């Protein structure tokens, strides 16, 4: 129902507090704004975002990609080095 203030990669993205499963992340509102701007192609808003929102959004996107690819994407490690981010960890499926 909303508002969507939590995020769960396995469920595909944003979820409301009532629908969120255990382990759901709680990104900052600025991070949700950035992700929405990126999805909508609102580059002015994305460019105006701060470093904390960008770091958090990068981690969310990396986790989302790796979860759905069902493997660690080594190429993300190169980007993480440029951004100074720790490499995201995703559990492998059997």
Q: What value does the mean pLDDT take over residues 78-93? A: 52
Q: pTM for the complete prediction?
A: 0.69
Say how far apart CA 30 and CA 49 lie, in whole Å: 8
78 lies in some domain: yes
Pick the residue with more confidence: 79 or 58? 58
Q: What value does the mean pLDDT take over residues 60-76? A: 73
7 lies in some domain: no
Q: How confident is the model at residue 94 (pLDDT cuts 50, 70, 90)?
A: very low
11 lies in some domain: no
16 lies in some domain: no
List the domain range (segments joined by +) for residue 56: 27-83
52 lies in some domain: yes
14 lies in some domain: no
3-state secondary structure of 15: strand
For the cut 90, the answer to whether the pLDDT of residue 61 exceeds it is: no
22 lies in some domain: no
Domain count of the fold of the chain: 1
Q: Measured between alpha carbons, how far is residue 8 from residues 48, 57, 60 in Å?
A: 25, 13, 9
89 lies in some domain: no
Pick the residue with more confidence: 1 or 15? 15
């Amino acid at each position: 129902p909303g508002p969507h203030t939590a995020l769960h990669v396995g469920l595909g993205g944003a979820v409301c507090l009532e629908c969120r499963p255990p382990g759901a992340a709680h990104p900052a509102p600025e991070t949700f704004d950035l992700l929405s701007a990126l999805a909508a192609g609102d580059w002015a808003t994305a460019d105006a975002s701060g470093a904390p929102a960008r770091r958090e959004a990068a981690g969310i996107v990396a986790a989302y990609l790796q979860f759905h690819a069902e493997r660690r994407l080594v190429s993300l490690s190169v980007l993480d080095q440029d951004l100074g981010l720790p490499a995201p960890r995703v559990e492998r499926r059997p």
